[in-house]
Amino acid sequence: MSTRTSALDAVVFGVDVQSGDVRGDAPSYALVEFDGETVSRDVVSHRKLRRLIDDEEPAIVATDNMYELAADKDQLIHLLGALPAGTKLVQVTGAEQPEPLSRVAKRHGIPYGKEPMQEAEAAARLAAHNVGHEVSAFTDTTTVKVARGRSTGSGGWSEDRYTRRIHGSVKKRAREVESELEEENLAYETDIREAYGGYANAVFTVEARPQDIPVSRNRSGDVRVEIERERRDGIEFRPLAKRRDHVVVGIDPGTTTAVAIVSLEGDVLDVWSSRTSDTADVIEWIVERGRPIIVAADVTPMPETVEKFRRSFDAAGWAPETDLPVDEKQHRTRDHPYDDDHQRDAMAAALYAVDAHGDQFERIAAKLPPGIDRGEVTARVVADEESVEAVLTDLTDDDGEEEETTEHEPRELSEDEQRIKDLERQVERLQSHVDTLEGRIEDRDDRIDDLERELESARRQERKEVRQDREVTRHRRTAERLEYERDEARERVEELEDKVARMKALWKLDHSNFSDVSAKKEGLVPVKVIEKFTKGAIREADDQYGIAEGDVVYVRDASGAGRSTAKLLAGFEPRVILKDGGLSEVADELLFEHEIPVGPAGDVAMQEVDELAVAREEDVEAVIDDWHDRARERRRDQKSAMVDQLISEHRAGDNEV
């Protein structure tokens, strides 16, 4: 698989100092432009280099020392902020502790020479092969600010319209930016400062880099758009290529191919199996997870398929002296999860290979000085059968030549240079203060706008109230119309419910089959049946066939009713309540107060048809008449008891006197 980046589809700039110093006067640079095939060379000034970067927007600006382009950290951050959105600054010699360029070039097979132009070309070719670290001082969060492009001024009716027009333009452009961000499905947050007639400014904090945002920095008439990336706390180095450690790979071929990745320390990093993947898929999966030193099998001799994988990685091979027994493979992989026997066999092969080379790995590690990549040395000793000493000599001695050191710390500045730097910082602070004051002026302008808006609002208040009154009247008429339609609908529903109830009662009577009902059904009255004198039973009966005013209600079990239950039934205003069982005094008193006749069901001849019943009208009238007679006597008794009580209370008062 190719490790080259998309940089080869664009242009890579390799840069090295030709003469002078970035901290001094007029440095010149050796510049190499490399597109993957052709190379062009030139010597340019610092100003021209910056102009070429802005004009051509290369994918990468590569150097062996980032401080060859900037005198100190502040200037470096300023340089990074001024680079085009799609351009990266790459230090090909490493991150915080870089290596000499000659060593890096030799390790990757890139031609190298000590002349500045040769070093610039080596840097360009290395960056094109994904070697090096991107230097970054900004996050992937970008701030897009839409603001006024000119001052609003103050005073006068014409100025008022002028201000409203500017703020309206800012609002319109802010909505266009929001729409463009929505179309690209970018995550963002919005902070809007409203002002008279629209927006004073709108700030969009977007989770994306400037080159991924469909908005560009511009200033046009009343509106300006500013784009700025969010600063990091310091400088960050990000490798162009993801690091892949050296590993041991176990493979179990067959209808289902299984692969296990194990570190040199014996840790299982990943395991995978597939019935459909071809050789290319397996190789790609392995390459994404490491660089194989050893490719192992669990049987001997090594299967031809495994041997092909070994040759493709130019790795050492390992196979057991005899086929590994199943029980030994199960025991060796007992501490690691796997999905099937194929994954277990591949994992066992890799682990046994690590066990077989364990002593060799330890001896190699013991001979390594600090700062040397253990995996690189181990790979060359195991796979290429080189000695540790020979590998170390090759890595540390570049043909006996004295290596130049790459110093990344800025040198100590002279008194004049320090004075210039202090003055530049003072200018930056003053410029920042000016920006702050301009912001305060904008805030005060906004306050003036607010006060003028309040004055204008007072003048427009009467017209506004008239418009509001018209709007309220319109809504009120709409509400009244909707209420009228609602009431009509309710009345219609009630009519239909009554009709359904009547039709149901008629159907019940028309389809009754008891013998003592005459053919004409004369003298009969329907009876609504309630099983128990409880709220639930009352509501259930009302849901099934409805209880309406003037109905004859029959309660099968009237015992246990309380005041609230009796009040619920009285609310339906039935004509009479026929009951079986005793009625509580509380319920009886409440029904009496509501003048609801109550009588025993046994005094009425009823015939039941399903959940309804019918009774003779004359029996119902008799029960009602009997209740009225008892009610008159009950009222007389209550009045008599009341008089007796008053007399007793009067006499008791006289005795106390």
CATH number at residue 103: 3.30.420
* Spatial CA neighbour of 17 closest among 34, 35, 8, 29: 29
Q: Do 497 and 536 reside in the same domain of the chain?
A: no
pLDDT at residue number 393: 78
Which residues does residue 91 pair with via DSSP β-bridges, in sequence order? 63, 133
Q: Do 491 and 544 reside in the same domain of the chain?
A: no
> How far apart are the C-alpha atoms of 453 and 459, rounded to whole Å?
10
Q: End of a domain among 359, 381, 396?
A: 396
Q: Is 517 among the domain residues?
A: no
Range of the domain at 497: 421-511
Q: End of a domain among 105, 131, 157?
A: 131
Our count of domains for the chain comes to: 5
The CATH number of the domain holding residue 369 is 3.30.420.140
Q: Do 255 and 390 reside in the same domain of the chain?
A: yes
Q: Do 49 and 158 reside in the same domain of the chain?
A: no
> How far apart are the C-alpha atoms of 441 and 433, rounded to whole Å?
12
pLDDT at residue number 109: 76
Q: Is 404 among the domain residues?
A: no
Structure confidence by residue, pLDDT tens digits, 499-537? 677 666 655 554 554 434 443 356 788 888 898 999 998
Q: Is 649 among the domain residues?
A: no
Q: Is 401 among the domain residues?
A: no
Q: Do 552 and 639 reside in the same domain of the chain?
A: yes
Q: Is 408 among the domain residues?
A: no
Q: Do 219 and 260 reside in the same domain of the chain?
A: no
pLDDT at residue number 242: 60
Angle at 501 between CA 517 and CA 527, to 5 degrees: 45
* Spatial CA neighbour of 228 closest among 91, 78, 89: 78
Q: Tokens for 36, please give them.
A: 């993957």
Q: End of a domain among 486, 511, 536?
A: 511
Q: Do 385 and 253 reside in the same domain of the chain?
A: yes
Cβ pair 14, 123 in contact under 8 A: yes
554 alpha carbon, distance to own chain's centre: 63
Q: Do 65 and 117 reside in the same domain of the chain?
A: yes
Three-state secondary structure string covering 557-592: ECCCCCHHHHHHHHCCCCCEEEECCCCCHHHHHHHH
Angle at 248 between CA 246 and CA 254, to 5 degrees: 135
Q: Do 185 and 113 reside in the same domain of the chain?
A: no
* Spatial CA neighbour of 541 closest among 584, 502, 585, 572: 572
- Which sign, positive or negative, has the C-alpha torsion 543, 548, 553, 557? positive
Q: Is 254 among the domain residues?
A: yes
Q: Do 327 and 223 reside in the same domain of the chain?
A: no
Q: Do 115 and 27 reside in the same domain of the chain?
A: yes
Q: Is 381 among the domain residues?
A: yes
Q: Is 412 among the domain residues?
A: no
Structure confidence by residue, pLDDT tens digits, 149-161? 877 765 444 567 7
Q: Do 109 and 210 reside in the same domain of the chain?
A: no
Cβ pair 553, 547 in contact under 8 A: yes
Structure confidence by residue, pLDDT tens digits, 439-484? 778 778 878 878 888 888 888 888 888 888 888 888 999 999 999 9
> How far apart are the C-alpha atoms of 148 and 105, rounded to whole Å?
52
Positions of the chain with pLDDT under 70: 1-9, 25, 153-159, 241-244, 370-371, 395-415, 417-418, 429, 432-433, 435-436, 499, 502-522, 609-612, 653-657
Residue with tokens 């149901």: 504
